[in-house]
């Protein structure tokens, strides 16, 4: 048990009791003689963040291929360098990515990358929560298709090493995956009652190419192939028309908004407020550092809010409460996790912030400060599943993680 004493929740100090991996009690004063007591005087508690779309081990590509559009960037800079990746690289790269996530208040993320078993190992070792897919990307090669279907089944058949981890499936996109592969992954996801993730309608070019090749837009194509539903997440989803939106809503499909990556690659701006007003389920993700340069959900929230106002030409778009929900509650709930809120019965995933931090004063509206003003310097402690993964800004083995990352980068980028 852990007992947080004198922590600020909303606008008053209270005690919060953590039992196992959940918030057991919130009260003005709690007496728990057997609990580990943490004096949280001067700190406020907030939900931690859930990053619903990233490519964690792309950490070595930060700053590579700047100032290019998506398809040039992928073909010229990303795919050739990713071809050098080996399983032993992924563990070190993933641990470093998790280090950045923890420092910026994220405790849960959904990934989409190669050699998933190495990422699973890093997540386990770092005490994080994650939804890790087997990534399908066959480039319309039948030999690759059959092998990836076999590997995906094998991946799902072995249980994850921790209840903090969910194994899921991912098809990269309609321009890198065959119909056979996508239909097979849809069937596997249903058979194993798990989730499916796909890049969808990220650029206008993707939409135009899909119309030319298949006679319909990506959302409609995936709908025909059965790849939509309450356990499907579409990453980006920038370019949806009204019919696409109707399909998304009626199937309960979730969208992952990645504003920084979309703007940086010139992919466009998601009409976030239009989607929210239509009742679509929207979450927030950073994408990989190769197209964002950061895994910070704090900076992602700010850009999501500003982009929403700019795109809608309305200062009432991208409201503070909505943006914070995208980064917290909506993300956790999309994967069936009762977290993203500080309430009794919720999973104990949370952050503590310094109420005297220069970016959090005056404390007129804490959520607004977190979205528009704060950076990672305000976060002092991060808890995942009821356990501290950062205490007083200290993460175990940080120096070793950084050294391993630098060595791996030198190997990959030489």
Instruction: Write down all domains in the chain, each with its CATH number in brackets.
Output: 2-48+348-398 (2.30.40.10), 49-334 (3.20.20.140)
**Separation of alpha carbons 400 and 389, rounded Å:** 16
- Three-state DSSP at 87 gives helix
String of b and e for 331-343 (b: at least 16 CB within 10 Å)? Answer: bbbbbebebbbbe
Beta carbons within 8 Å of 158's beta carbon, 6+ residues apart: none
**Separation of alpha carbons 183 and 235, rounded Å:** 18
Task: Tell me how long the chain is.
Answer: 414
Q: Which residues pair with 283 in a beta bridge?
A: 256
- For 245-363, strand residue ranges (E) read 254-257, 281-284, 350-354
Q: Give the per-residue pLDDT at 368.
A: 98
**Separation of alpha carbons 297 and 251, rounded Å:** 27
Residue spans of the chain under pLDDT 50: none
Token pair recorded at residue 369: 């400060």
**Separation of alpha carbons 381 and 379, rounded Å:** 6
Give the pairing of strands 379-384 and 36-39: unpaired
Q: Give the per-residue pLDDT at 70.
A: 85
**Residue 393 Rama label (left phi>0; alpha psi -120 to 50; beta):** left
């Amino acid at each position: 048990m852990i007992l947080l004493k004198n922590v600020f929740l909303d606008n008053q100090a209270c005690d919060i009791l953590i039992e196992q991996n959940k918030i057991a009690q919130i009260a003005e004063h709690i007496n728990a003689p057997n609990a580990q007591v943490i004096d949280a005087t001067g700190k406020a508690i907030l939900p931690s963040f859930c990053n619903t779309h990233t490519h964690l081990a792309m950490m070595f590509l930060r700053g590579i291929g700047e100032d290019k559009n998506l398809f040039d960037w992928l073909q010229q800079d990303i795919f050739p360098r990713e071809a050098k990746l080996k399983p032993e690289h992924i563990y070190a790269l993933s641990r470093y990515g998790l280090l950045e996530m923890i420092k910026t208040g994220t405790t849960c993320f959904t990934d989409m990358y190669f050699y998933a078993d190495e990422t699973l190992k890093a997540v386990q070792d770092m005490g994080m929560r994650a939804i890790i897919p087997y990534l399908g990307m066959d480039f319309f090669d039948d030999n690759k298709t059959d092998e990836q279907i076999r590997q995906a089944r094998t991946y799902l058949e072995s249980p994850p090493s921790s209840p903090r981890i969910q194994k899921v499936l991912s098809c990269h996109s309609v321009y890198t995956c065959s119909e056979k592969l996508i239909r097979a992954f849809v069937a596997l996801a249903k058979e194993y009652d798990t989730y499916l993730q796909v890049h969808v309608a990220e650029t206008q070019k993707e939409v135009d190419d899909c119309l030319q090749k298949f006679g319909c837009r990506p959302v409609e194509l995936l709908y025909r192939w059965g790849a939509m539903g309450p356990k499907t997440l579409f990453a980006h989803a920038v370019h949806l028309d009204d019919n696409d939106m109707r399909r998304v809503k009626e199937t309960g499909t979730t969208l992952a908004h990645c504003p920084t990556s979309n703007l940086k690659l010139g992919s466009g701006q998601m009409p976030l407020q239009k989607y929210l007003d239509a009742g679509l389920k929207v979450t927030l993700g950073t994408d990989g550092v190769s197209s964002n340069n950061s895994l910070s959900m704090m900076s992602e929230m700010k850009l999501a809010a500003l982009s929403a106002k700019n795109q809608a030409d309305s200062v009432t778009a991208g409201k503070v409460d909505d943006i914070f929900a995208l980064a917290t509650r909506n993300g956790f709930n999309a994967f069936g996790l009762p977290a993203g809120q500080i309430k009794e019965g919720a999973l104990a995933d949370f952050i503590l912030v310094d109420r005297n931090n220069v970016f959090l004063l005056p404390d007129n509206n804490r959520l607004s400060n977190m979205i528009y003003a704060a950076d990672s310097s305000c976060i002092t402690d991060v808890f995942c599943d009821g356990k501290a993964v950062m205490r007083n800004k200290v993460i175990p083995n940080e120096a070793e993680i950084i050294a391993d990352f630098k060595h791996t980068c030198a190997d990959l980028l030489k």
